[in-house]
Amino acid sequence: MSGKRITRLSPELRRQQLVGIGLEMLVERSLDELSTDEVARRAGISRGLLFHYFDSKRDFYRAVVRTECERFMTAVEPDGMLEPEAWRREFISGFVAYVLQHRQVYLSLVRGAAGSHPAVEDIVNETREAVARRVMDGALRLGAPDTPRLRIATRAWMAFAEEATTNWPVDEAGARDELRVFLDASFVGLLGILDDGRPSPVAEE
């Protein structure tokens, strides 16, 4: 009797497949709505077999989120041998390219409600801290002094960059290059303000 031949995958490849399906599903739903039944169905295995590769639903969620956060960190890791300005531009280009390509997943995980999800909150927070340190590193490479004010400013710029990138009208001609230039100019401008000292207060009328 003929039948469909089932491909047997190694445990590691099967884990990668299941995590990949989970990431694909996050494009259209939140982490809470990520059904392990549906993941198993798409993989052509039973739900019970899925839990042969993951200890629990929480363990599966954490594997999915950790994989996406690692991809994000890789995308925004410039070549350490670059000169400071080239390093900054490569960081911004990597950030823009990643967020625009994975916008829904980024909104769902790194920036969205998943950040407060008890199963993955620590992973998301660690990722945000790591990116903030990378932004700080870019500022230090350009000669900015390591001060509490700089730490606050670079975190504020990161929030600014997220807002701009997730809402920029990228379907327009040249919009992506325009966005990269905009973010680069805003970062340089921010450092310029800090370098000049505290902004002058607005004169009272």
SS (H, E, C) the chain: CCCCCCCCCCHHHHHHHHHHHHHHHCCCCCCCCCCHHHHHHHHCCCHHHHHHHCCCHHHHHHHHHHHHHHHHHHHCCCCCCCCHHHHHHHHHHHHHHHHHHCHHHHHHCCCCHHHHCCCCHHHHHHHHHHHHHHHHHHHHHCCCCCCHHHHHHHHHHHHHHHHHHHHCCCCCCCHHHHHHHHHHHHHHHHHHHHHCCCCCCCCCC
- Topology of domain 66-195, per CATH? Tetracycline Repressor; domain 2 (1.10.357)
Domain boundaries, given as residue ranges, for the chain: 11-63, 66-195
Q: What is the CATH number of domain 11-63?
A: 1.10.10.60
Q: What is the pLDDT of residues 146-176, one digit of tens each?
A: 999 899 999 899 989 999 998 999 888 899 9
> What pLDDT shows up at residue 110?
64
Q: What is the pLDDT of residues 67-92, one digit of tens each?
A: 999 999 999 999 989 999 999 999 99
